[in-house]
Structure 1
Amino acid sequence: MLKRYEGKGFWKRPTTYKPGEQLTEKQISEIEEFLDVELPQPYISLMKEQNGGELYYRYVLFNDGEAALIPYFQELDLETGVGLSSIFSEQFGLPSRQILLTGDMHTWITLDYRFSNTPRVCYFTELENGRWVEEVIAETFEDFLWKLFSKE
């Protein structure tokens, strides 16, 4: 049975992915300045609740009816997690202005700031030739949240 995310119980508890330290407003401002973006408020709210970790609603539904597993969200931190987005994007040849929410080096879910200050949520899959296939999951982070579900 599928259970859709309805605004509560986002994080899996307990989690095997160790969350980062509790966020302060100052840290959030520093991270946004470092990344040169304004993060979506619903994302910030979730990260204030728990700074990264496994998702309870760990599957996302694409517009074509396919689904992908989201094992965790990386923590908001300058030296780890999303703070490494530009380094990983460059290293793996991803487009610029991506904030990496989660990934395994072959697939990534990102906040895509290339076209707007309000990021889309994108899914990147690596092909054998090293190129990336990109699919827009949602036009906003909030729309992305409503596409999440768990399998019960």
Structure 2
Amino acid sequence: MNLRFYEGTNFWKTPTEYKPGVKLSKETLQEVERLLGVTLPASYLKLMEVQNGGELSFRYVLFEDGDAAIVPYLYEIDMEHGIGLSPVFIEECGLPEGLVLLTGDLHSWLALDYRKTKEPSVVYITESESGNGTWEEYQLESTFDEFTTRLFKKDE
């Protein structure tokens, strides 16, 4: 088995089971950024302009220790779906303020982290194994662009 890392092409999986959101408009982008109080990274927006969310071709992310996690899809940029629901999930799950949730399943999340800077890092957050309702955080990269270079797929 070979690992093939994302190198700038074929980011989105086709065909896909996850229905992407409607084409991203400038108005929707401005509305979502205003709601979240952030400016989304240009490299992230470039991908979302091609397709507003969906399944990833390169669906695994490699951690520093050699472990990997699955990132099956990214949420769309939308007010009533996708990343626009970040504040709701942050409150409901007891996650730290200052995150924009890119994808997750209530037990683990991939997020842009705006807590320390206006240029967000990318973090992976998962429920603590202690079962006490706390979260463990792993910084993946200091920028979204660097994060995409950690995404890979397995070639059989």
Q: TM-score range by the shorter chain?
A: over 0.9
- Residues 63-97 of structure 1 show CA distances to partners (whole Å, capped at 9, x for unaligned) of 22211100110110001110000110111010001
Structure 1, unaligned stretches of length 5 or more? none
Provide the TM-score with structure 1 as the length reference: 0.98
RMSD: 0.7
Equivalent residue, structure 2, for 1:57: 58
Equivalent residue, structure 2, for 1:70: 71
- Residues 18-53 of structure 1 show CA distances to partners (whole Å, capped at 9, x for unaligned) of 100001122211211111100000100101101111
Matched residue of 1:135: which SS? strand
- Whether 2:140 is the aligned partner of 1:137: answer yes
Whole-Å Cα distance in 2 between the matches of residues 54 and 29 of structure 1?
A: 24
Whole-Å Cα distance in 2 between the matches of residues 28 and 67 of structure 1?
A: 31
- Total equivalences in the alignment: 152
- Whether 2:154 is the aligned partner of 1:148: answer no
Matched residue of 1:37: which SS? coil
1:1-150 equivalent positions in 2, closer than 5 A: 1-127=2-128, 128-150=131-153
Structure 2, unaligned stretches of length 5 or more? none
Whole-Å Cα distance in 1 between the matches of residues 86 and 18 of structure 2?
A: 18
Amino acid across the alignment from 1:99? V
Identity, in percent, stands at: 51
Whole-Å Cα distance in 1 between the matches of residues 43 and 122 of structure 2?
A: 13
Provide the TM-score with structure 2 as the length reference: 0.95
